[in-house]
Structure 1
Amino acid sequence: MKKLLALLFIASLIACSGEKDQQEVGEEKEGNAKNTSFLPDATGESGEIVIIINKRKYDGALGEAIKEVFRETVPGLTRPEPMFTIRVIEPFEFNRIFRVARNLVYVTSFEGSSAADKWLQGTFSETSRERIFNNPDLFMQTSEDQYSKGQKILQLFGKDDASLIKNLKENKGLVQNFFNIAEKQRLARTIQMSTASKGILRKVNDRLGINIKIPAGYELSMLEDDFMWVRALPAVGPSKNLFVYSKPYTSQDEFKYENIIKLRNEAGKKYIYGDPENKESYMITETEYMDPVFRNINFNDQYTVEMKGAWKTNNFSVGGTFVSYTFVDEGTERLYYIEGFVIHPSEDHRELIREMESLLTTFRVS
């Protein structure tokens, strides 16, 4: 447990460091909050980003670095999908339709002299320019609600293309996380619970002592002393599923990746069937054709292992994609495995998994 606490402390330091980096160059000061009541709501689909850049540079090395950040393949999905859907425009194309986009990225290099470069460079004050030229490690600043409510804005900059490219390559995850977190927070705010789903949650809380946001339209599939499964089964469209499995925590070895897969398969074989009448249709983790992807994260100030990958039933009748978090609740000394998985054959899963991630982040032990 001491080792686990040490890992938690390190994860917390990393998270705090990332927040500091994001705020480093920002010119907006606390206490100067904008009145956004007169602004229109931000538009666009989840995962969409409008990038304003000199298109000649986008066709070169700088553009390749931008693509590596925003069009990187999402790990763990059953087929390749880019992390974000991007729309690249020049400043002169930045009209009122694009201004209200939910996610905006300005890309600026101060070595350019074209009209597009001059326009982008003009978005910085003289003080900011001086700081950029004096500190080559500064390359991004964030703001929000510039043209619309709920809008997230990122400025990427460098004294020259080479400096910006270097920082993008070294800090790719930081840039991606800014928009990944923003999208998950938006989803968490828009997902509504119904009277029926609140009733389901009361049953779950009474039995398991946990809370998690259960959206309207979900039904309770199974509830046991160590397990909960809720799902949405629409007549048309994706099936969405959430489940929680817990057991007494015994050893740090339970955080080894192979043991997390074993834990997942244990829950699947015990409780989750494609066809309840067919005992060979239990859920298993796909490891033959693709391996799950793991990442150590800080979830609710707890050391957590995130796993993403593909699942299937043992008799190959159905399958899909999942994302899960494994962690220990120190108050109860229980190991929790919480997962969101989807069924949507031959369709994209990126935004579905993002939605599952958003729901998982609402999990709390009572």
Structure 2
Amino acid sequence: MKKFGTLCSAILVMVLWSCKDSGPKQRFLPPSTGGVNSLMVVMDTELWRSDVGDNIREHFAAQVLGLPQPEPIFTIVQIPPKVFKTTTTYSRSILYVEQDSSSLAHIKTDAYAKPQKVAVVTGPTHEILNRNLDSLAPKAIEAFKQLELSETQNRFERSLSKDKSLEEEFGISMKVPSLYKVGKRDNKFVWMDIQIPKGTMNIIAYEMPENSFSNDSTFVDDIVKMRDSIGKKYVPGPYEDTYMKTEMAFAPYVFPTEIGGKKAAEVRGIWDIQGYPMAGPFLTYIINDDEHHRKMILEGFTFAPSTEKRDYMFELEAILRTVDFSPTSGSE
């Protein structure tokens, strides 16, 4: 009887301790799934075939700027709501559209899996649905893109290059996958690349004087001159007197941005080879590095003929956006 009383006392203590220690428990969320830049659209098939579906495609399957051939910003898979259950809810980026009496346009985070963004649009009529889509689309596209960039960075962060060329030449660091190798290094110039099916992906880094691009009216022309001079000096083509330059038939797209905590210009366009039929897309960041009295230039470009290049360029963007200007042992 004494032993039974002792056991009851022990159990009571454990129960009281458990009640005291317990708090709000976090809901378990499975890891999200899906290919990079894929978007699952959940909506009725008839609605998908209507003007509402057209509006979705206009926003979320718009052409990526700066590519030599049309490619959508997201690869879309549409499914009806009745099959949106179990594993389909684990998709990383989801757009849920429903014709309903309520009118909503918002973005949920980690609703069914983690990490995940779910953009929800409802409305009683096609007109209201389209209006809600138009208002939410820019925010949703940016949210999906940031999620995809983070996912891409997480994937290659598992095996990073230990090469110190960027640190030693510029005092910066980037999270570059270990498969990228430095092929050329000169005073204040680094070129690394990786072999891909039918071509290469490339990253180059160099400096420009602090007062470069001081005239807004000639900004784009100055960018082209800079790229062409660097290409002529460092990026040769397959034969003598051939080199990488900016394709003049397509004016580069220029956007303000922030990278590495600094103001920058993002430039997207097409490169080609002077005197030889080769071309491909490039992405250049011109970064105001005031602390070191310079413009830091980071560029990614791809050569992959007869191949879709969206995801290659997206990976290069993900790499370049990891640049860190924190003090290092590299040169000032």
Compute the TM-score of the two structures, normalised by the length of structure 2: 0.83
Cα displacement string for residues 110-165 of structure 1 (whole angstroms, at most 9, x for unaligned residues): 34xxxxxxxxxxxxxxxxx5xx5xxxxx6222211x33333322212345432331
Q: Which residue of 2 aligns with 1:364?
A: 324
2:227 corresponds to: 264
**What letter matches 2:105 in structure 1?**
F
Contact kept, 8 Å, 2:156 with 2:177, in 1: the verdict is yes
Correspondence 1:124-143 to 2 at 5 A: 139-143=105-109
Q: Which runs of 5+ in 2 are unaligned?
A: 1-22, 328-332
Distance of 1:34 and 1:65 partners within structure 2: 37
CA contact (8 A) 1:78 1:321 kept: yes
Secondary structure at the counterpart of residue 292 of structure 2: coil
Counterpart CA distance in 1 for 2:39 and 2:288 is 36
Given residue 232 of structure 2, which amino acid in structure 1 is its aligned partner?
K
**Residue number in structure 2 paired with 1:348:** 308
Preserved contact between residue 193 and residue 214 of structure 1 (Cα < 8 Å): no
Q: Which runs of 5+ in 1 are unaligned?
A: 1-30, 112-128, 133-137
Structure 1 residues 184-193 or 252-261, which shifts more?
252-261
1:247 aligns with 2:224: no
Matches within 5 A, 1:301-312: 301-312=261-272
Task: Say if 2:69 is the partner of 1:79.
Answer: yes
Equivalent residue number for residue 119 of structure 2: 154
Matched, 1:282 2:248: no
> In the alignment, which residue of structure 1 is the partner of 2:181?
219
SS of 2:70's partner is coil
Q: Is the 8 A contact 2:213 2:222 kept in 1?
A: no
What is the aligned counterpart of 1:324 among 260, 264, 284? 284
- Report the alpha carbon displacement of residue 84 of structure 1 after superposing the two structures with TM: 0.7
Distance of 2:112 and 2:124 partners within structure 1: 27
Change (3 A) 1:173 1:316: farther
Q: Which residue identity is paired with 1:143?
A: T
Following TM superposition, by how much is the alpha carbon of 1:323 offset from its aligned partner in structure 2, in angstroms?
1.1
Amino acid at match of 1:72: A
2:251 match: 291
Rounded Cα–Cα distance in structure 2 between residues aligned with 1:223 and 1:194: 22
SS in 2 for 1:139: strand
Contact 2:61 2:75 in 1 (8 A): yes
1:122 aligned residue:
none
Shift of 1:102: 2.0
How far 1:274 sits from its partner (Å)? 2.8
**Larger Cα Rg: Structure 1 or Structure 2?**
2
Q: Distance in 1 between matches of 2:74 and 2:319?
A: 20
Contact 1:193 1:216 in 2 (8 A): no
Q: 1:351, CA displacement in angstroms?
A: 0.7
> What CA distance in whole angstroms lies between the structure 2 residues aligned with 1:249 and 1:293?
22
Q: CA deviation at 1:303?
A: 2.6
Show the 5 A alignment for 1:164-175. 164-170=129-135, 172-175=137-140
How big is each residue's C-alpha offset from its partner over 1:214-252, in whole Å with a ceiling of 9 and x where there is no partner?
211111112223211111125x45411111121221155
Alignment partners' CA distance in 2, 1:291 and 1:309: 7
Matched, 1:106 2:100: no
Call closer, same or farther: CA 1:215–1:86 in 2, change over 3 Å: same
d(CA) in 2 for partners of 1:47, 1:231: 23
Partner residue of 1:88?
A: 78
Q: 1:212 to 1:164 in 2, by over 3 A?
A: same
Partners of 1:155 and 1:32 in 2: CA distance: 27
The alignment covers a number of residue pairs equal to 302
Aligned equivalent of 1:186, options 128, 140, 151: 151
- 1:171-200 Cα deviation digits (max 9, x unpaired): 5432211111111111111113757x20x2
Q: Secondary structure at the match of 2:67?
A: coil
Compared CA separation, residues 35 and 315, structure 1 to 2 (3 A): farther
Q: 2:167 aligns with which of 189, 205, 221?
A: 205
Q: Aligned-pair distance for 1:363?
A: 1.1
1: CA distance, partners of 2:80 / 2:113: 20
User: C-alpha displacement at 1:350, in angstroms?
Assistant: 0.8
Letter in 2 for 1:184: L
Q: In 2, distance between residues paired with 1:329 and 1:32?
A: 46
Moved more, 251-260 or 51-60: 251-260
Aligned partners of 1:253 and 1:259 also within 8 Å: no
Matched, 1:335 2:295: yes
CA contact (8 A) 1:52 1:106 kept: yes
Report SS of the residue matched to 2:282: strand
